[in-house]
Amino acid sequence: MNTATDKTIRNGAASPHPLVSAHGRQPAVVRARGLVLGGGPLGVIAGPCSVESRSQLLDLAHVVRESGARGLRGGAFKPRTSPYSFQGLKEKGLELLALAREQTGLAVVTEVMAPEQVPLVARYADVLQIGARNMQNYPLLEAAGAAGLPVLLKRGPAATMEEFLFAAEYVLKAGDGQVILCERGIRSFEDHVRFTLPLASVPHLKSVTHLPVVVDPSHGTGHAHLVAPMARAAVAAGADGLLVEIHADPARALSDGPQALTPDEYRRMLAECQAVAAALGR
Ligand code: PEP
Ligand code: MN
């Protein structure tokens, strides 16, 4: 009998996705180095959209560490809409992330785009990110799930909650590991934002699963001035953590500059989010 079937029977649940189901379970707490997602305190993962250079990443990693956050994000393999856009530093970017971890102790969260990249990325990452475009790449979900690291799974921009839960189920079924769900916004008719950030998904996911839920207000809005208000709203809605893009010089960022917070804006946002969390007894 496979593990999934076994767990279904033990839970007595008829859920179509028994491993992600909240049924009879304590909320999961995912830990990677000092990063804790779930269980009360707000977990924060911040960093650039893309790893661009040694000094860019190390300077931002120190900003993140000094802010009290414990997770460092940064893409080395970048899924870009245009094949002519910056595609990431690839393994060189992973090496820089590992160097940043060595200097700061931050947990490295970075994207893996293909099943065959999993062994390489897993050698450097503390948490494997699966991007929105790959949420239903089932071989990738299985390879990441079997890698022995927590997986941060981003919601596909056109995926329903049910499809999102099934994607998480693939990851858990493949390896008995841990998953962090990330709401990062969906496609809608609305065009004043890059994506529409549906925050009702936070309490919904918290009620139907035992998995930690993180919100990405950067991709979820696409505009730096909307990031802090939506981050505060995400915390108020019960998010276990935030994934936020920052850059020292957003106008010169090689990807996603318009949605990047400067270090000062990021620190202000974090203080506001901590105040919201404290007001809610977290
Ligand atoms: C990212 O986190 O930089 C990213 C590419 O996100 P998404 O997959 O949500 O578009
Ligand atoms: Mn980005």
63-94 pLDDT, tens per residue? 999 999 999 999 999 999 999 999 999 999 99
49 Cα: distance to centroid of ligand 2 (angstroms):
4
State in Å: Cα 47 to ligand 2 middle: 10
The whole-number average pLDDT for the span 119-145 is: 98
Q: What is the dihedral of CA 108, 81, 167, 121, to 10 degrees?
A: -30
Lowest mean pLDDT among 2-16, 46-60, 159-173, 239-253: 2-16
CA of 3 to the centre of ligand 2 (A): 35
Q: What is the mean pLDDT of the segment spanning 260-264?
A: 99
* 125 vs 118: CA distance, rounded Å: 10
pLDDT at 14: 82
> From ligand 1's centre to the CA of 102, what distance in Å?
24
Nearest to 46 by CA among 221, 260, 272, 225: 260
E strand or H helix that includes residue 180:
strand 179-183
Question: Mean of the pLDDT values across residues 50-62?
Answer: 98
Task: Give the pLDDT of residue 165.
Answer: 98
The band of 13, judged by pLDDT with boundaries at 50, 70 and 90, is low
- List the beta bridge partners of residue 44: 242
| Protein residues with CB under 6 Å of any ligand 1 atom | 49, 75, 79, 131-133, 154, 184, 219
Mean pLDDT (whole number) for 132-147: 98
What residues contact residue 135 under an 8 Å CB cut-off, 6+ apart?
Answer: 153, 154, 155, 156, 159, 163, 164, 167
Q: Which residue of 89, 219, 242 sits with most ligand 1 atoms within 8 Å of its CB, as the best mutation to test the pocket? A: 219
From the alpha carbon of 134, which atom of ligand 1 is closest? 8
Structure tokens at 58: 């190390």
> Is the model's pLDDT at 25 over the cut of 80?
yes
pLDDT beyond 70 at 189: yes
Higher pLDDT, 14 or 12: 14
Centre of ligand 2 to C-alpha 255, Å, is 6
Looking at ligand 1, which atom is closest to the CA of residue 133? 8
pLDDT at 218 over 90: yes
pLDDT beyond 50 at 48: yes
* Residue pair 50/257 in contact by the 8 Å Cβ criterion: no
Helix axes 54-67, 263-279, angle to 10 degrees: 30
Instruction: Report which ligand 1 atom has the smallest distance to the Cα of 219.
Output: 9
* Residue in 73, 97, 154, 216 to alter for ligand 1 test, most ligand atoms within 8 A of Cβ: 154
Round to whole Å and give the CA distance between 69 and 255.
22
- How many whole angstroms from its chain centre is CA 23? 24
